[in-house]
Every structure is written in structure tokens, then in C-alpha cells.
Chains A and B, each alone.
Chain A
Amino acid sequence: MKGTLKKVLALALASVMTIGLGAVAHAADLDTSEEVELTMYVVSDRPAGQDVVDENLNALLKEKLNCSLKVNWIGWAEYANKYPLLFSSGESFDLAYCATWLNFASLAQKGAFMSVDELWPTYAPKNFEAATESAKKQATIDGTMYCVPTLLATYNAYGPIYRQDLIEEAGIDPDMSTWEGMEEYLDAVKANHPEMDGYDVYSAQPEIIMTWMQSKGFNWIEKGLPFMFIDPTEENPKVFTYADYDGVKEALEMTARWNEKGFWSKSALADTDTTKTQNGKAAMRIHNIDTPAGYAAAPVDPSFEFRFQNVVKNVAHLPFTQDCMVISNTAKNPERAMAFWDLLTSDQEVYDAFYYGVLGETYTLNDEGQFQITDVNLYNTSAMWAARTTELNRNQMGTPDWYNEMRAGYEDQIAENDAAEKYTSFVFDQSSIETQVANVLNVQQQYWWPMELGFTDYNTAYDEYCKKMEAAGLQDIVDEAQRQLDEYVKTLE
């Protein structure tokens, strides 16, 4: 009996080793005899103690791939100007972080990146294998793949982040998946804590009505244009906007009432404090599931019990390109860079050294494998968020139990209803309507934001908004989106 088990084990081990060897043999196409330094750009502020992390990682990389990695950081204060210039300056670098919000598609179209059609499967075979078809489709612009998307799944789930302790204090039981429930909660908080803001608004785009639309089953097709929606359950979805959809007045009426009840300041759009919910100055905000998980993992006050409730009806994955890695068109060592990426996204040791740093010095682990940064003033996790994979990524210590449960729940929902999932791979090419997009985004900010927050009276302001949107060229955008979407739907069949 014992002998058989041994034999089976030996066989299993042997087969694992052969598979392993196969992978090694494949990667061996790459000549690593010459030591190279890879250069990588990320967007974030460089942590003060980063040197320790780099040194440790480079020792590991030297041993495994005969290379070292130099990371350049573009700070939050300057990324908007500096990031696009990276690719026009002619500076030679190998890899960079990119994302939908850094204009991946438009930069790819303008020739900023090297094609990864050959590089990715050849030098990062394990990563290529692990990426979903949908991710590969999202990486494709004009028939060529230009990035390696993240392997970590994220969801379009969006909804209220609220405090269970405030609900218990008020002795109510609101259904936070409904807008009436949220209002009941906000009313109660406002009554108990008049000094607090009910709903958290600061000097940025308010996302109440965008979320309201999603709770009604409509999904945006491009998050950068958050006024344009489709109903993903339709067979051939028709693109429409706030200006075509009279039903949105119901939402405007609600936010006008919320404003009157004093759920936010009359000067909220001038307020630059982005931490009001986290710090207990506001009772609720609307965002994604990762935000309250972060609040809960590092609470400002231990009595705050943050909860999250998704209200989006048609749940889907977010495009995997919302975090991705690109190879610059000026790269000197694209092959090695890709091999490094394969190693990083498949090897826990390298991933830990890259993402968290030095165990015991920059981070610690608990029994469940959750991490904690030892000194947040000195160290931080990597800003190359595209390197995260579902297998290798660790949760932060103190991540609430509901976090993993809810995320698993979204997978079930997607499996059950894939209406919206079909459209995740749709990439809206805006190159022919850039002028209109610039104008429309401006109108959106000037006329929609104040109206959404009830600062202007929607009874008159809505018509003005529609007129301004029309003058800015909204119809051209809708027509173009519809044309591209129809084409996309055809390819689905």
C-alpha cells in the first residue's frame, strides 16, 4: 500500500517536473547570457524606503533572469502632463504601467507602444496561457495586441459604502440595495449627527446618477463617457444618453431632494477633502468594493464598521486593461522585459519581492497569508498594479470577511447572467470624434455636475444641458458609438 502511494507520488512528481521542464525549455529560447537593466515606469509617488525593496528584488532577478530592474516613478502631482510625454520624448525604456484611465487605447492608436502579438506568447507563455480570451480582445487595438492586461479579476459592482455602527445606533434596518433605503439611512444619520455630511461629495465628478442608471439595469459602455448607456439585455443594444432618457428626471428629483435635506454642502464642489467617509465626516459614499475593504483594513477609528452593497443590476468584469503593462516603442530589451513579466506573474517568490518587498522588513504575513506593510511612511506595495494575479495576490490583514464572499458572489452572478459580460471587451475607438469628446466632457462638468447635486434647478437646467450637449456634438459621439457597437455585436455571433 505504502509502496503504491510512493509510486503514484513519484509519477506525479515526475510529470510535474516534465511540465516544468517544458516551460523552462520554451523560455530558454531567450538568450540570458548578457546581463541587462530593464527600465520600468509606474505612476505613483516613490515610497521613501523603496531602495531596500529594489535591492532585494534585483538580487533575485540577477539569479533567475540575469537582469535588474530600474523603476522610475511619476508622482501623482504630475502624471497627467508627464505620462503622455514619456512616449514622445524619445527616452528609451522597456515597460510601463498603463490603464484605461491613462488612455491606453488612444495611446496605442497613436503608436506609443510596441506590438506584443509575437512577444507575449513567445516570451511570456505562462502569462499568455492564463489570460482570458476576453482580456486578449481588450488588448487588441486595430487588430494588434498592444498590452499585457492584468490577470486579477475586478468587477463593475458599485454602490453605497456605509457604516453598520450608524445603522445600529439609529435602530433602523434600511435595505441599502435600494435608493429609498439609502435615503432612510441618510435621514437617520443626519438626525443623530447634524454635524456630519450625509453623502460624501468633493471636488470631482459625482457618481450618484451614473450608479442609479446602473441600478436600473443600464450599463455605461465607456467609463470615461459616463453619460452614455446601453441596456445590455437587449439583443442589439441601442446607445442612449441622459439627454435622450427622460426617466433620468426621477433621479434628478431625488438628488435635488437630498441636496435640500442637507446631505451635502452647498459648496461641495469646492471641497478638496477626499477622505470624509473614511474619517467619519460623512456617512456614505458610492464607490467600488475595494474602497471600503481598504477603509476596514486600516480604520481611522475602530468603532467604524464599513459595509458595502452592490446596486449594479448587470454585474460584469471590468475590462482587464484597466490595469495593464505596455512595452514602449523605444524598448531596448523587449524580450527580456516580457520574460521578466512571465516570471513576475507566475512565481510567488518574485511576486512577493516585487509587490510587497522584504518579508519581516517591509511587510509581515499572518497565518492566512494576508500581508501588512510594517511602516507605511517608508514602504508601500508596488504601483505596478497590472502585475497582480488572482493566485499570487494577497489580501491586506484585516480585510473583512464579506470582501471575498462578495467577490465570489459576483462570479456566480456573472455565470448566471452574462448580459453585460458580453460587452466587457468592447473598446470604443474615439479617434474620429476627439473634438466632440473634449467639448462634451466640458459641458458635462459645467452643466451636469451642478444639476446632479441639486445646485441648479433641473426643471430648467435639464433642457439647457441637453441643448449644450447637442451643440457640443453629442449626436456624433452617439452615432459613432452605435456604429462600432453594431459591428461588435456582429462579431459576437
Chain B
Amino acid sequence: MKNGRERGRKEGFREEWKKNKPLFIMAAPAFIFAIVFLYIPMVGLIIAFKNYRYDLGVFGSAFNGVDNFRFLFSSGTGWLITRNTILYNILNMVTSQLLAVLIAIFISEINKKIFKKVTQSLILLPYFISWVVVGVFVYNLFNYETGFIPSIVAAFGGEKPNFYGMPGAWPWIICLFNSWKWTGYNSVIYIAAITGVDSGIYEAAAIDGANMFQRIWNITLPSVRPTIITMLLLQVGRILRGDFEMFYQIVGNNGQLYNMTDVIDTYVFRSLLTSSNIGMTAAAAFYQSVLCFVIIMLVNTIVKHIDADYALF
């Protein structure tokens, strides 16, 4: 091992290039894309520390220290929205991934081909429905006067629930719609992972007398474990990014719900919609990115400690 590494170093990039020319060429577009669209724009982060002026541009504008960050924290809202964003993401991550694994297992256990395809398509369908449309669904399901759910409750003699006056209900409503929308899409990846498991193992288990649940527990789940962990790690990278469209379309302008539903993205949108201060929005994005970076490094280190094979890098 040690020898190999040293040799690799001596040979250097030129040797690597000679050996793996096709691989380098294949990776080149993605590499160039990342440099141009992900690394070079990072220079723009300095706007977060500047008092941006249109005539002076990104580099000409004067620095103003951390003034742009003040609006996030000066009124005590920064902590609340950071907490909301993280909690929502954990809740949504766990529920949508868990359901996706479950559904992938169900679907792969179905033997009837037509039924299997139809089920899979139907579950995938919500992914294609825009949040704007979902927002209309939500309003028609939950509004007090004519909403579907309050009307049903009233029809059975209960007292009409006023959902738009109950902030506590919304984390669950949002979680429900998030799962409804993403589960089908995420399950495709797990179905692919399950399909990749050697069918010989299942046959052997069946011959040894394992029933369906034993097969799932002892073969399917362990085989998709790396996929689950990779998916979760990828999601962690977005933990401070609220799904803006979802929150915005479902919650809208209902101020009463904000303490329970506000995430960083919606707060920034609302506060700065009427402002032309690019520095302040850049500061919010900068804050999200730095926290994301810290969290993903932390989680990856933890995963590495437990089992280095599962770590992202």
C-alpha cells in the first residue's frame, strides 16, 4: 500500500494522464462546469461584505464589514429561522427517505408487472406537480369556510378546525406534502439499488427457507444501506436551504403561522423583497453556505469514524 502510493506520487500527473486519458476526457466537461459555474462565482461572495453600488460594481464598491449580516440577527429572528430550517429539513429528510425505502421494497416485491409499473408511475406523479398548484390544493383542503377537511369535520358534528389559526398543525401539514411530493422520486433510486442486488442471493435464501420478511431484513436492507447513507449525506448538504417554493406556496402571507413555518429563505425573501440591497441578500446566502459547510464536514467526519467506506470524501 505504502509503496504503491509513493510510486503514484513519483509518476505524477503526466503518468496518470497517459494511463487514464479517456477517463480524464470524460470527466472534463463536469470539471469545467464546476469551475465555471460553482467555483468562479464564489468570488461574488465578497458582496456580502460590501455596500454594493451599481455604478461601482462588485469590486469597486466599498467594504462595510458585517453590516449586511445585522438584519438577520438584530431582532432575534436569526436563531428562530435557523432552528426552523434545520428541524424541517431533519423531519423531511427522515420521513421522505424512510417512506421512499419502504415503497421501493414494496414495489420490488410486487410480481405482477403491469400493476408494478402503474403503481410506480402513480407514486412518481406528484413530483411533476408544481408547488403553485399544491398551494391551491392546500387552501382548498384547509380553509375554514369551504375547505374539505373542516367541512367533513363539521358534517360529522365536530367543531370546525381553523387551520390557518393553528400554527402547531403546519409542520405536519408541510411534512405530509413534502413526503407526498418527493417519496416517489426518491424511491426510484432505491428501486434501482434493489434491482442491482444479485438475485442468486435471494434464491439461496429462499432455498434455505427464509420468508419474505427475513429476506427483506437480512438481504434487501443491508444491500441498500450504502445508498441510504449517501442519500442522507447529500441531503445534509442542503440542510440550511429551505425548499423556498414549498414553504412560500403552502404558507403564503399568513403571518400567524410564521413562528412555526418561517425558514431562512422565506424570511429573507419577505424582508428584502422590496429592498434593492443586494449585499443583505448575499449575506443571508453566505450565512447559509457557511453553516451548511460546517454541518456537512461534521456529519462526514462522524460517518468516517463509524465506517470510512460510507463517507462521502
A439 with B253, Cβ < 8 A, contacts A111-B54, A112-B54, A270-B143 known? no
Question: Does A488 sit at the interface, judged by CB under 8 A?
Answer: no
What is the bound-complex CA distance between A22 and B51, given in angstroms?
A: 46
Q: A107 near B275 (CB under 8 angstroms)? A: no
Question: Does B310 sit at the interface, judged by CB under 8 A?
Answer: no
Question: Does B222 sit at the interface, judged by CB under 8 A?
Answer: no
User: Which listed residue (B57, B267, B276) contacts A84, Cβ 8 A?
Assistant: B276
What is the bound-complex CA distance between A442 and B266, given in angstroms?
A: 11
Question: Does A9 sit at the interface, judged by CB under 8 A?
Answer: no
What is the bound-complex CA distance between A456 and B255, given in angstroms?
A: 10
Q: List 16 A-B contacts (CB under 8 A).
A: A107-B276, A110-B276, A111-B56, A112-B54, A112-B55, A203-B252, A265-B145, A267-B139, A267-B163, A270-B253, A435-B71, A438-B277, A439-B75, A445-B255, A455-B256, A472-B75
Query: Which chain A residues lie closer than 8 Å to B280 at the CB level?
Result: 434-435, 438
Question: Does A450 sit at the interface, judged by CB under 8 A?
Answer: yes
Question: Does B67 sit at the interface, judged by CB under 8 A?
Answer: yes
Task: State the 5 A-B residue pairs at the shortest beta-carbon distance, nearest first.
Answer: A111-B55, A267-B143, A266-B144, A446-B255, A112-B54
Question: Does A23 sit at the interface, judged by CB under 8 A?
Answer: no
Question: Does A224 sit at the interface, judged by CB under 8 A?
Answer: yes
Q: A434 near B277 (CB under 8 angstroms)? A: yes
User: Which listed residue (A107, A267, A468) contacts B147, Cβ 8 A?
Assistant: A267
Q: A271 near B139 (CB under 8 angstroms)? A: yes
Question: Does A125 sit at the interface, judged by CB under 8 A?
Answer: no
Q: A267-B147, A471-B76 are in contact. List 5 more A-B contacts (CB 8 A).
A: A84-B276, A87-B54, A267-B145, A267-B163, A449-B255
What is the bound-complex CA distance between A300 and B71, given in angstroms?
A: 45
Query: Which chain A residues lie closer than 8 Å to B277 at the CB level?
Result: 106, 434, 438
What is the bound-complex CA distance between A436 and B273, given in angstroms?
A: 14
Query: Which chain A residues lie closer than 8 Å to B55 at the CB level?
Result: 110-112, 329
Q: Give the bracket for the number of chain B residues in contact with chain A.
A: 35 or more
Q: A103 near B275 (CB under 8 angstroms)? A: yes
Question: Does B270 sit at the interface, judged by CB under 8 A?
Answer: yes
Q: B75 near A269 (CB under 8 angstroms)? A: no
A265 with B274, Cβ < 8 A, contacts A112-B55, A435-B67 known? no
Q: How far in angstroms is the closest Cβ of chain A from B286?
A: 16
Q: A438 near B52 (CB under 8 angstroms)? A: no
A88 with B254, Cβ < 8 A, contacts A267-B147, A270-B143 known? no
- Digit string of B150-185 for contact with A (CB within 8 Å is 1, else 0)? 000000000000111100000000000000000000
What is the bound-complex CA distance between A443 and B55, given in angstroms?
A: 32
Please provide the chain B residues from 19 to 61 with a CB less than 8 Å away from any CB of chain A in the complex. Answer: 52-57
Question: Does A447 sit at the interface, judged by CB under 8 A?
Answer: yes
Q: A450 near B77 (CB under 8 angstroms)? A: no
Query: Which chain A residues lie closer than 8 Å to B70 at the CB level?
Result: 435
- Digit string of A83-95 for contact with B (CB within 8 Å is 1, else 0)? 0100110100000
User: Which listed residue (A101, A111, A447, A455) contacts B165, Cβ 8 A?
Assistant: A455
Question: Does A80 sit at the interface, judged by CB under 8 A?
Answer: yes
Query: Which chain B residues lie closer than 8 Å to A436 at the CB level?
Result: 74
CB-based nearest A residue for B162: A266
User: Which listed residue (A434, A449, A473) contacts B75, Cβ 8 A?
Assistant: A473
Q: A106 near B56 (CB under 8 angstroms)? A: no
Query: Which chain B residues lie closer than 8 Å to A112 at the CB level?
Result: 54-55
Q: A450 near B271 (CB under 8 angstroms)? A: no
Q: B71 near A267 (CB under 8 angstroms)? A: no
A438 with B54, Cβ < 8 A, contacts A271-B139, A472-B75 known? no
Please provide the chain B residues from 111 to 162 with a CB less than 8 Å away from any CB of chain A in the complex. Answer: 135-136, 138-139, 142-145, 147, 162
Question: Does B293 sit at the interface, judged by CB under 8 A?
Answer: no
Question: Does B272 sit at the interface, judged by CB under 8 A?
Answer: yes
What is the bound-complex CA distance between A103 and B276, given in angstroms?
A: 7
Question: Does A437 sit at the interface, judged by CB under 8 A?
Answer: yes
Q: A224 near B274 (CB under 8 angstroms)? A: yes
- Digit string of A445-465 for contact with B (CB within 8 Å is 1, else 0)? 111111000011000000000
Q: A110 near B258 (CB under 8 angstroms)? A: no
Query: Which chain A residues lie closer than 8 Å to B205 at the CB level?
Result: none
Question: Does A152 sit at the interface, judged by CB under 8 A?
Answer: no
Q: B255 near A107 (CB under 8 angstroms)? A: no
Query: Which chain B residues lie closer than 8 Å to A204 at the CB level?
Result: 253
- Digit string of B49-93 for contact with A (CB within 8 Å is 1, else 0)? 000111111000000000100110011110000000000000000
Query: Which chain A residues lie closer than 8 Å to B275 at the CB level?
Result: 103, 106, 434, 437-438
Q: How far in angstroms is the closest Cβ of chain B from A14?
A: 48
CB-based nearest B residue for A205: B253
Q: How far in angstroms is the closest Cβ of chain B from A384?
A: 21
Question: Does A272 sit at the interface, judged by CB under 8 A?
Answer: yes
What is the bound-complex CA distance between A19 and B253, given in angstroms?
A: 56
Question: Does A441 sit at the interface, judged by CB under 8 A?
Answer: yes
Question: Does B188 sit at the interface, judged by CB under 8 A?
Answer: no
- Digit string of B251-288 for contact with A (CB within 8 Å is 1, else 0)? 01111101100000001001111111110100000000
Q: A267 near B164 (CB under 8 angstroms)? A: yes
Q: B54 near A88 (CB under 8 angstroms)? A: yes
Please provide the chain A residues from 111 to 142 with a CB less than 8 Å away from any CB of chain B in the complex. Answer: 111-112
Q: A266 near B165 (CB under 8 angstroms)? A: yes
Q: How far in angstroms is the closest Cβ of chain A from B162?
A: 6
Q: How far in angstroms is the closest Cβ of chain B from A441?
A: 6
Q: A449 near B253 (CB under 8 angstroms)? A: yes
User: Which listed residue (B147, B253, B255, B274) contacts A447, Cβ 8 A?
Assistant: B255
Q: How far in angstroms is the closest Cβ of chain A from B227?
A: 36
Q: How far in angstroms is the closest Cβ of chain B from A106?
A: 5
- Digit string of A307-331 for contact with B (CB within 8 Å is 1, else 0)? 0000000000000000000000100
Q: How far in angstroms is the closest Cβ of chain A from B246?
A: 15
Q: How far in angstroms is the closest Cβ of chain B from A79?
A: 11
A450 with B54, Cβ < 8 A, contacts A267-B144, A439-B77, A473-B75 known? no
What is the bound-complex CA distance between A378 and B281, given in angstroms?
A: 38
A456 with B274, Cβ < 8 A, contacts A265-B144, A473-B75 known? no
Q: B74 near A435 (CB under 8 angstroms)? A: yes
Query: Which chain A residues lie closer than 8 Å to B136 at the CB level?
Result: 272
Query: Which chain B residues lie closer than 8 Å to A87 at the CB level?
Result: 54
Q: A471 near B75 (CB under 8 angstroms)? A: yes
What is the bound-complex CA distance between A435 and B77, given in angstroms?
A: 13
Q: B255 near A269 (CB under 8 angstroms)? A: yes
What is the bound-complex CA distance between A474 and B144, given in angstroms?
A: 34
Q: A84 near B144 (CB under 8 angstroms)? A: no
CB-based nearest B residue for A112: B54
What is the bound-complex CA distance between A266 and B256, given in angstroms?
A: 12
Q: A439 near B145 (CB under 8 angstroms)? A: no
Q: How far in angstroms is the closest Cβ of chain A from B68?
A: 8
Q: B145 near A266 (CB under 8 angstroms)? A: yes
A442 with B267, Cβ < 8 A, contacts A106-B275, A434-B275, A471-B76 known? yes
Q: How far in angstroms is the closest Cβ of chain B from A228?
A: 15
